[in-house]
Amino acid sequence: MVKGQEGEDHIRNWMRNRNTVEFLGTWELMHNPLFKGVEFDTFLHEAGANRFNMTPRKWIEATNAIGIISKAGRNGGTYAHKDIAFEFGSWISPVFKLYLITEYQRLKAAESDPMLGEWNVKRVLSKVNYVIHTDAVRDFIIPETDIEREKLYAYADEADLLNLALWGCTAKQWREANSGHAKKGLNIRDTASINELVVLANLESFNAELLKRGVDKAGRYKYLHEMAQSQLPRLNNIDAEKDFRKIEASTGTKGLPRR
């Protein structure tokens, strides 16, 4: 990190700073049960004085620190835990410090983004695997002399095969029975539980493999239905959906409107 920087002894000058000593000691107290707190207190008391001098080796030997490593010889140098390296980088480079601040704010904003809530978790589970599924339909169901309308029918037909295996109805049947939801632009997958979407994702991947192996539609429906009937009760019994709710709460999405 100091390579190419003007001047010398950047690490030593950094370690002479009282705030640095306090930071290093606090880190060690949090992560190092063998850290010598008495010696640390002595350094903290002396830090900042003109006569105070500190080097990585002196710090390590006196306090039994583990956050910084100092090696001599051909492959020698001063190394540190990333927490400490970030602190040093912030001290030596304003650009680096601003980068950390900006990146931290970006990550916090991403955590609080509603798109990371329950709706996104469910849709990602279905859409990611649906890519695999539709690719298989394109490669193994649609003939080479494609017509755009025939493509649409082929994709919808395979999608409804999964709907039938899991829910026992087609998308059209669901829309007719749930006209209120349909008018709002919702479909059967939008209103499914997280557990159902987990199973659906598994069905999509499994159906893609069955398509590659040339299993006919009747055979695939049989396998898919058995898989759905086996997996969904198990997920419901272990309350897998509850674990997703814990994840949502930890990422700041608690309290978002539910479907």
Residues 164 and 77 in one domain: no
**Residue 1 included in any domain:** no
- Same domain, yes or no: 85 and 124: no
The residue range of the domain holding 198 is: 114-250
Query: Which of 77, 111, 145 is the last residue before a domain boundary?
Result: 111
Q: Are residues 147 and 232 in the same domain?
A: yes
Do 139 and 56 lie in one domain? The reply is no
In a domain, 243, yes or no: yes
Q: In terms of domains, do 107 and 118 share one?
A: no
One domain, residues 192 and 241: yes
Where are the extended beta strands (E) located within 12-105?
A: 68-71, 77-80
Number of domains in the chain: 2
Does residue 146 sit within a domain? Answer: yes
Quote the DSSP letter at residue 238. Answer: H
Please say whether the beta carbons of 67 and 27 come within 8 A. Answer: yes
Alpha carbons 214 and 258: distance in angstroms, whole number: 40
Rg (CA), the chain: 30
5 belongs to a structural domain: no
Are 103 and 187 contained in the same domain? no
- Quick one: pLDDT at residue 65? 96
Instruction: State the pTM of this model.
Output: 0.46
Over residues 168-184, the pLDDT tens digits come to: 888 888 888 888 878 88
pLDDT bin (cut points 50, 70, 90) of residue 119 is low
Same domain, 218 and 166: yes
* Contact residues for 245 (Cβ-Cβ < 8 A; gap 6+): 118
pLDDT in tens, 25-35: 999 999 999 99
Do 121 and 228 share a domain, yes or no? yes
- Residue 37, domain member (yes or no): yes
* 123, 245: one domain: yes
Distance CA 111, CA 113 (A): 6
Residues 131, 219, single domain; the answer is yes
Q: Give residue 76's pLDDT band: very low, low, confident or very high (50, 70, 90).
A: confident
φ, ψ at 14 (rounded to 5°)? -65, -40
2 found inside a domain: no
Does 150 score more than 80 pLDDT? no
